[in-house]
Amino acid sequence: MTRWFIRSRFLLVYILFMPAGLFIAYNGPWLVRFLEGLIPMDKCPLLPGQTLRLGETVDDSLDLWSRSDVQTCTYWGAPVMWDGMFNPKVYDRVHKERGSSVALTVFAVGRYLDAYLTEFLHSAEQHFMLGLPVTYYVFTDVPESMPKVPLGLDRALEVIRVPKHQRWQDISMMRMKAIAETIDQRIRHRHQYVFCLDVDQVFMGRFGSEALGDSVALLHAFYYHRPKVLYTYDTNPRSAAYMETADYYYHAAVFGGSWQSVRNLTEGCYKGIMKDKQSHVEALWHDESHLNKYLWLHKPSKVLSPEYCWAKGIGYRSDIHIARLIWADKQYTVLRD
């Protein structure tokens, strides 16, 4: 009788909790991201009604108090750009009056060119810095395979051949050197601003002149609600990217600024990468780890919200009013073998 009772009890527990266990196993990541989204962000440290007072710049027109649900400025006085904070027409008018122009660098190496570049360029023509002169600098090891994409007025494209690397990690890290060299050789003579983007992304909404600034970083979509203790900085003391703590976790898929600032950043990251190679170590997240270290030591003058590079897999977030750029569907098993 006792054995029967024990077996019945275990059977009952199994029947009751197995569905719950399966539900958690299947939906666990989604539930975690949903709960993360409930963690409030820090707030702009200014007093209500105050402005950044950045010195007669167009960013002085930002309405920091139009968004009470997110952080709209950093403690060092950089704006964090969210939908509803700015008037697009004001930014476009000011930058047209200034004659601003933009270089966009993108790496499409190996199979990434066929998989992503055409859609990336087509969507950029619809949403990236419309109304301003833009030149796309496409870095590839197969320039003969470049797609033909119609470009609008004051839009141009240049192809730069880069060597092929066996590992995608080396491609990711060596782009820093290639960007710095291209800024020296070409971009500095033509454009005031540079944006560096990953190719496996698609523009879905306005990515305009409000994003321009001296040094521009992007909040990583997966980290902006997480406690800092969960940020995945490189914690290896032997790496030049070593960090114990910092302000934010930035995404290397999007960064930019004036050509001078972007050159300094890419050169600084490249030096860190080469120092690691001499020490026979590799940073946890490769060039992104070095980028986070650099931006901790050299604070960006403008921070873009995750609207400017969103991941659909995160699910619904009430603070994301518009996904301006999204991650394309990943095909890593095919592209990185």
**Distance (Å, whole) CA 315 – CA 32:** 11
**Distance (Å, whole) CA 270 – CA 318:** 37
Judge whether 231 is annotated as a binding position.
no
Judge whether 109 is annotated as a binding position.
yes
Judge whether 220 is annotated as a binding position.
yes
Name 182's Cβ contacts closer than 8 Å, sequence gap at least 6. 105, 137, 139, 160
Is 267 tagged catalytic? Answer: no
Judge whether 108 is annotated as a binding position.
yes
Judge whether 170 is annotated as a binding position.
no
**Distance (Å, whole) CA 53 – CA 327:** 34
Judge whether 198 is annotated as a binding position.
yes
Give the containing element (helix H, strand E) for 194. Answer: strand 193-198
DSSP β-ladder status, 302-304 and 215-218:
parallel
186: nearest Cα among 165, 216, 147, 156: 156
123: nearest Cα among 58, 187, 207: 207
Please identify which of the residues 210, 267, 288, 307 carries the catalytic annotation. 288
What value does the CA radius of gyration of the chain take, rounded to a whole number of Å? Answer: 23
Instruction: Using CB atoms within 10 Å of the CB of residue 175, give its burial: 0 to 12 exposed, 13 to 18 middle, 19+ buried.
Output: buried
241: nearest Cα among 205, 270, 204, 220: 270
Give the containing element (helix H, strand E) for 193. Answer: strand 193-198
**Which residues does the annotation place in the binding site?**
107-109, 112, 198-200, 220, 232, 288
**Which residues does the annotation place in the binding site for Mn(2+)?**
198, 200
Catalytic residues, which ones?
Answer: 288
**Which residues does the annotation place in the binding site for UDP-N-acetyl-alpha-D-galactosamine?**
107-109, 112, 198-200
